[in-house]
A and B are shown apart, each in its own frame.
Chain A
């Protein structure tokens, strides 16, 4: 390709000028791509962290100060009523938890005991045994499922834990399952706590009266979960005979993801702004240098026209030069951005979350290509047009 060859020759003949011109593009694309890579891996990590959370459940708890809590707190009977009366709600489980000293043989740990059901808060893989069953709940059995940390604490020598007994005070629980070790990472999202026992057992042993601190609701249709949450809050207010000044809080996976997304949208907007500004600045640089190049080579253009080059051919030649200039800048920026973004990802995000998102190569290439095309067309066309419409006689006379 002769146009390409000639454009390359011109750019190589003016190395410093070429480099100075494309610095703006390099920086702009570098900023956009590196932040794109980071955003991508952050989003991927958070998705991954949240992945054990069930999509079809939400948690509800009173958002009140201590004194009003008694009035606002749900009762066990409320949950049954809500499942029976509020559409879309298929199950309701009371939640509770507390720190407690637990013991297995000589090994002791201050652990967080919490209530759970056969439909746990989060789907986490098991290392040993099984999860709590419907029977465990129905019979309020003295069984528990412990997490990996608890297993390491109470069983430092390892060994089969299921069927072993652990004690909370004088109360004995039989271990039926152990959750698998979570991924290595600084942020370990733990859902619930260390030791899960059936909520019926928890209510019997640790709750005075039938007060419920918080409850987990399961819905049939995930799409209408927000409306169901409102309906449940209204039902609770009616049952507790409190007004709208008594506040309740709900929490579900979609809400959390939305919160994270809004942060990323803001980041994306900032990146887009950086991109647009650098595009403009770099584009003006490209245009400037191309105009200089056209002026410098006026005589050459005249010669080309004299020997028979048509306008379109001259236009194409200079467009190729702009395209190569901006393509080169954008490509270098992309490579640096991928390297820097990947490095920050490895150093921080992977260490924090233990999750390595694959770099968004296709997206990076697309962004880079669009950048280069916009700069070429928006800022390379006018200089190329100027070159193409030069009068050959004037151009040949130019010194």
Chain B
């Protein structure tokens, strides 16, 4: 493996929350490396620390100790505004609840990250239309979230996450609010993105969903307990 192929590099990452005088350790020292183009699922029961891990990967939170390199850049000690800039440039988020702006049409929702990046409105609309095309929703560009189905809303959210051409697409329970059929549709989109070379990290508690990924990292009590590469799509390796 050469260094330039590494998307995410965790070296001895710990996270401890302080609640008054009480210190609550959540991550006990995680070493993990995700290469560019990988499709990884992170699984674990509640309290395993998978959300905290996700937040640190997503540069929403800083580790208490350890080093986190995102595409070779040490981001473990950056301040809030630098982290915001990093999220803008290198990360794309897909949430369980879609988190779209309710009164804003799909095109503007998708273009929002570009607004924060200072891109002009015409260019925003052009690029937003292009990614909407990619997720198969260009005909719904002028619809508001309330006029779209759950699956369509999640596709809009995926388009929004992709518009900055991020290094890593982070999905937190992306199918948690969707029925089985729609979940399969969304997983098909992820497959397609993976095939196109995207790096995807997905947190889920659903074994069926996790099996869509090519690698599953399992967390228990703040430690990685299993890290398995799935040989061939949708084939389960035991845990």
A interface with B by C-beta (< 8 Å)? 2, 6, 9-10, 13, 299-300, 302-313, 392-393, 396
Residues 80 to 139 of chain B near chain A (Cβ within 8 Å): 80-81, 84-85, 87-89, 91-93, 95, 99, 101, 103-104, 112-113, 115-117, 121
Task: Considering the complex, give the chain A residue whose CB is closest to the CB of B92.
Answer: A307
Query: Is A303 a contact partner of B95 (Cβ separation < 8 A)?
Result: yes
Cβ-defined contact, B101 with A300, below 8 A: yes
Question: Could you say which residues of chain B place their CB within 8 Å of the CB of A311?
Answer: 80-81, 84
For the complex, give the distance between the alpha carbons of A309 and B83 in Å. 10
Is B60 located at the chain interface by the 8 A CB criterion? yes
B214 in the interface (beta carbon within 8 A): no
Q: Are B103 and A10 touching (Cβ within 8 A)?
A: yes
Q: List 19 A-B contacts (CB under 8 A).
A: A2-B121, A13-B103, A303-B95, A304-B112, A305-B60, A305-B87, A306-B58, A306-B99, A307-B112, A307-B113, A307-B161, A308-B85, A308-B88, A308-B164, A309-B84, A310-B116, A311-B80, A311-B84, A393-B61
Q: Are A303 and B116 in contact (CB under 8 A)?
A: no
Q: B87, A307: Cβ atoms under 8 Å? A: yes
A351 to chain B, nearest CB (A): 51
In the bound assembly, the distance between CA atoms of A392 and B93 in angstroms comes to 13
Q: Which residues of B contact A313 (CB under 8 A)?
A: 116
Q: Is B160 an interface residue (CB 8 A)?
A: yes
Instruction: Answer whether A299 and B103 are a contact pair too, CB < 8 Å, given A306-B87, A308-B116, A308-B117.
Output: no
Q: Is the interface of A mostly helix, strand, loop or mixed?
A: helix
Given A10-B103, A300-B101, A392-B60, does the pair A305, B115 have CB atoms closer than 8 Å? no
A2-B115 in contact given A9-B104, A307-B93 (Cβ < 8 Å):
yes
Q: Which residues of B contact A (CB under 8 A)?
A: 55, 58, 60-61, 80-81, 84-85, 87-89, 91-93, 95, 99, 101, 103-104, 112-113, 115-117, 121, 160-161, 164
Q: A6 to B109: give the CA distance in the assembly, Å.
A: 12
Let me know if B88 and A307 touch, CB within 8 A: yes
A2-B115, A307-B161, A308-B89 known; 7 new pairs, CB 8 Å cut-off, are A6-B104, A300-B99, A307-B88, A307-B93, A307-B116, A311-B81, A396-B99
- Neighbouring A residues of B161 by C-beta, 8 Å: 307
A299: B residues at CB distance < 8 A: 99
Complex Cα spacing A309 to B101, Å:
14
A392: chain B residues at CB < 8 Å are 60
CA distance A2 to B117 in the complex (A): 13
Which B residues are CB-close (under 8 A) to A6?
A: 104
Q: What is the minimal beta-carbon distance from B150 to any residue of chain A, in angstroms?
A: 17
A314 to chain B, nearest CB (A): 10
CB of B85 within 8 A of CB of A9, answer no
CB distance from A7 to the nearest CB of B (A): 11
Closest 9 CB pairs of A and B: A308-B88, A303-B99, A308-B87, A310-B84, A307-B113, A309-B116, A306-B93, A9-B103, A392-B60
Measured CA separation A304–B117 after assembly (Å):
12
- Asked whether A308 lies within 8 Å of B61 as measured between CB atoms, the reply is no
B81 touches A310 (CB 8 A): yes
CB distance from B139 to the nearest CB of A (A): 23
Q: Is A393 in contact with B55, judged by CB distance below 8 angstroms?
A: yes
Residues of B within 8 A of A303 (CB): 95, 99, 101
Chain B residue numbers with a CB within 8 Å of A302 are: 99
- A393 CA / B93 CA spacing, docked (Å): 13
Chain B min CB distance to A177 (Å): 73
